[in-house]
């Protein structure tokens, strides 16, 4: 027979569980998105409020974190469990996967040739990638900048040991470039367009000349993708819609991006043209392309070993 004391203990326990349940349910209904101050679909969706509206209709709240200056710190936040979804380059995702960051790539956007490249000052005597021998080039370690430089050198038969890589964050590379501390800068938009238009730069090689196979990717934490696949699909559906709008309205998309990035408004047209390109689910061919870049990264000593790309991508609808 249950005693009065046991009864009240049981009731207190049930009440405690009941009080915890709404909080746990509320936590399940939040998507934490890290946004980069860059021209990508997530930044566009944030500015236009489309993600909040679509997810609110399903009872899901969006929490924004950032802006992050580049993919590396955003991936660090994802690794720490602070965010669920963010954006970056396929090269930065490869570096993160090699470092055992538990992420999965769920969207792929091949970068336009004009959205990445190697830039020098307009009065520089550097006229081609071959002229970089004996020079200093600013790059971000393990990311797009280092990839563009190393790929460009390989494409043009230049010994990478003859070029000094100066490892700087994108925010530090600009001042170093303008002050002449480096001879060139391997970078991507918006930094490339800013360097060309605002820092009196000239592009000596764009993505096509470099033969870049880089892409913008959207990533989610592995735990989020596995535990909340429906929410991830919902986010991707909104992203696809935003991307379709951007492709059809490049100048308008560019205007939103420059506003979010706090860069001059007159850069909107070019940034829109460079970056409003189709985003798709990750196909088998896309995964193979990322894998080839990963193998190239390992071969050139940028990462110690190529990660298993097939386990680092998922295919959504």
Q: Among candidates 66, 290, 45, 69, which has minimal Cα distance to 187?
A: 69
For residue 142, the model assigns a pLDDT of 87
Q: Which residues of 189-217 are buried (b: 16+ CB within 10 A; e: fewer)?
A: bbbbbbbbbebebebbbbbebbebbbbbb
- pLDDT tens profile 218-272: 999 999 999 999 999 999 999 999 999 999 999 999 999 999 999 999 999 999 9
Question: Residue 102 burial by CB count (10 A; 0-12/13-18/19+): exposed, middle or buried?
Answer: middle
- Element of type H or E holding 154: helix 144-155
DSSP per-residue codes, 173-185 = HHHHHHTTSSSEE
For residue 170, the model assigns a pLDDT of 85
**pLDDT of 288 above 70:** yes
Q: Can the peptide bond before residue 181 be classed as cis, meaning omega within 30 degrees of 0?
A: no
For residue 69, the model assigns a pLDDT of 85
**pLDDT of 307 above 80:** yes
Phi first, then psi: give them for residue 8, nearest 5 degrees: -70, -35
Q: How far apart are CA 43 and CA 185, in angstroms?
A: 24
Edge-to-edge order in the sheet of strand 103-110: 61-68, 30-36, 85-89, 215-221, 103-110
Residues in a beta bridge with 108:
217, 280
What is the four-CA torsion angle of 208, 209, 212, 213, rounded to 10 degrees? 40
**pLDDT of 177 above 80:** yes
For residue 26, the model assigns a pLDDT of 53
**pLDDT of 145 above 50:** yes
* CB distance 118 to 210 below 8 Å: yes
Q: How far apart are CA 129 and CA 216, in angstroms?
A: 24
Report the chain's mean pLDDT, rounded to a whole number: 91
**pLDDT of 99 above 80:** yes
Ordered by where they begin, the domains of the chain are 12-16+23-111+214-312 (3.40.190.10), 113-210 (3.40.190.10)
66: left (phi over 0), alpha (psi -120 to 50) or beta: left
- pLDDT tens profile 2-22: 443 443 343 344 334 334 444
Q: How far apart are CA 186 and CA 148, in angstroms?
A: 6
> What pTM does this model have?
0.85
For residue 171, the model assigns a pLDDT of 86
- pLDDT tens profile 22-76: 444 455 799 999 999 899 999 999 999 999 999 999 999 999 999 998 899 999 9
Residues in a beta bridge with 169:
none
For residue 27, the model assigns a pLDDT of 59
């Amino acid at each position: 027979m249950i005693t009065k004391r046991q009864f009240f203990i049981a009731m207190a326990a049930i009440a405690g569980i009941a009080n915890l349940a709404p909080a746990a349910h509320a936590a399940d209904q939040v998507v934490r998105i890290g946004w980069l101050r860059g021209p990508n679909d997530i930044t566009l969706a944030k500015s236009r409020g489309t993600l909040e509206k679509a997810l609110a209709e399903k009872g899901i709240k969006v929490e924004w974190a950032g802006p992050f200056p580049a993919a590396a710190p955003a991936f660090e936040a994802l690794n720490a469990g602070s965010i669920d979804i963010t954006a970056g380059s396929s090269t930065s995702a490869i570096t993160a996967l090699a470092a055992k960051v538990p992420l999965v790539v769920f969207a792929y956007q091949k970068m336009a040739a004009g959205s990445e490249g190697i830039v020098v000052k307009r009065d520089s005597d550097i006229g081609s990638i071959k002229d970089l021998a004996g020079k200093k080039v600013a790059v971000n370690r393990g990311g797009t900048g280092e990839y563009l430089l190393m790929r460009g050198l390989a494409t043009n038969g230049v010994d990478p040991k003859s070029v000094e890589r100066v490892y700087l964050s994108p925010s530090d590379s600009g001042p170093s470039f303008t002050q002449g501390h480096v001879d060139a800068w391997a970078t991507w938009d918006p930094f490339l367009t800013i360097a060309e238009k605002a820092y009196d730069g000239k592009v000596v090689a764009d993505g096509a000349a470099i033969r870049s196979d880089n892409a913008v990717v959207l990533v989610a934490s592995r735990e989020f993708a596995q535990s909340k696949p429906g929410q991830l699909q919902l986010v991707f559906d909104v992203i696809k819609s935003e991307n379709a709008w951007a492709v059809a309205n490049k100048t308008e998309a560019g205007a939103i991006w420059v506003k979010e990035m706090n860069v001059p408004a007159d850069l909107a047209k070019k940034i829109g043209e460079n970056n409003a390109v189709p985003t798709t689910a990750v196909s088998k061919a896309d995964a193979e392309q990322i894998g080839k870049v990963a193998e190239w990264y390992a071969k050139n000593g940028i990462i110690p070993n190529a990660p298993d790309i097939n386990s680092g991508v998922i295919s959504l609808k």
